[in-house]
Amino acid sequence: MKAVQVVGYHQNLEMADVDKPTPTGPFDVVVKIGGAGVCRTDLHILEGQWAEKSQVQLPYTIGHENAGWVEAVGSAVSNVSEGDKVIVHPLITCGLCRACRSGDDVHCEANAFPGIDTNGGYAEHLKTSARSVVKIDDALEPSDVAALADAGLTAYHAAAKAAKRLTPRDRAVVIGAGGLGHIGIQVLKALSPAELIVVDRNPEALKLADAIGADHGVIADGTQVDQVLELTGGSGAQTVVDFVGEDGATIEGIAMLRRAGDYHVVGYGENINVPTIDVISTEINFIGNLVGSYNDLCDLMALAARGAVNLHTQKYALDDFQSAITDLDNGNVRGRAILVP
């Protein structure tokens, strides 16, 4: 089968002809790929940023945002069968460790991560496990939802966690209405009764935010902290969900937070620099967010099936993988780039 592989760092990806995966373990599931999301993490992999962490042997097949149809199953698989339309949770997890048994499978002590440390989905087929596949509604197409498997799932996880603490009297600020942020906005709109303020430096992104549920758009022109304080009666927002996390976003985001508020870190890059006396005197909370759990993915698919979450996509044939990578690198992708075998 065709598979797009990492053959070396600081080198272009290459199309290869490799053996089609087959179920070898009892819980294996082979998925015929209907869509594979092209993610900024893929660019970081090519830059070698993940090499030490993943210890992956080259060449291997990249791609961790996958959806498609079940092609073959191992002898013990009972939750899906051949032909089922599925989205693939990015991790293969053990089901036996403490984290897995608490439903917190993202922190599984014995996980594999197709596309990062083992063969992924820029290919015609992908091998994953029964624990990782979520059947999706008939109305959804794999190529439309593939990027919800990671980008969307991360945004869902943070927004849903934030929404649990929000009441109708609260305001929530979303910093960054881009690829992840535009999913976070839709999830907050669906799950939280709070007033939603979206901050972005791009007027087009604010226009999109307005169309998908933001109550207020704030242009990040240097006056954004004052604008948010004005919109929150001078006291700041109960929650800030920061999808940027670099270029000074955190210093400004923290200044938008009210006493005892929650600061959700999703985007990353810079250090948080806050005097500890401010942390104790205001009792503000800093909350990290990784990708969501299997249950988060099921919840997100329920929202997608009822049309509450829509992902903007730009599709490419699998053979055109290089155009997708180049477009992403040059900032020429609207929404998420998806490879379709």
List interacting residues with Zn ion (CB under 5 A): 39, 41, 93-94, 97, 100, 108, 150
Query: By C-beta, is 108 or 338 nearer to Zn ion?
Result: 108
CB of 108 to Zn ion, least distance (A): 3
Query: By C-beta, is 100 or 172 nearer to Zn ion?
Result: 100
Please give the single-letter amino acid code of residue 328: L
Burial (0-12, 13-18, 19+ Cβ within 10 Å), 209: buried
CA distances from 213 to 194, 204, 246, 274, 278 (A): 11, 15, 25, 31, 33
Query: By C-beta, is 66 or 239 nearer to Zn ion?
Result: 66
Query: By C-beta, is 65 or 252 nearer to Zn ion?
Result: 65
Closest by alpha carbon to 120, among 23, 38, 47? 38
CB of 83 to Zn ion, least distance (A): 27
- What pairing do the DSSP bridges indicate for beta strands 28-38 and 66-73? antiparallel
Q: Are 286 and 123 in contact (CB under 8 A)?
A: no
CB of 115 to Zn ion, least distance (A): 8
Query: By C-beta, is 104 or 215 nearer to Zn ion?
Result: 104
CB of 109 to Zn ion, least distance (A): 5
- Contacts (Cβ under 8 Å, ≥6 apart) of 168: 193, 194
Q: What is the DSSP letter of 271?
A: -
CA dihedral 82→39→63→162, nearest 10 degrees, is: -60
CB of 97 to Zn ion, least distance (A): 3
d(CA 232, CA 237): 6
CB of 42 to Zn ion, least distance (A): 7
Query: By C-beta, is 15 or 97 nearer to Zn ion?
Result: 97
The tokens describing 312, both together, are 């903007």
CB of 293 to Zn ion, least distance (A): 11
Which residue number places its CB atom closest to Zn ion? 39
Query: By C-beta, is 192 or 293 nearer to Zn ion?
Result: 293
CB of 4 to Zn ion, least distance (A): 15
DSSP string, 123-183: BSEEEEEGGGEEE--TT--HHHHGGGGTHHHHHHHHHHHHHTT--TT-EEEEE--STTHHH
Strands across the sheet containing 195-200: 216-219, 195-200, 171-175, 237-242, 257-265, 285-288
Query: By C-beta, is 108 or 148 nearer to Zn ion?
Result: 108
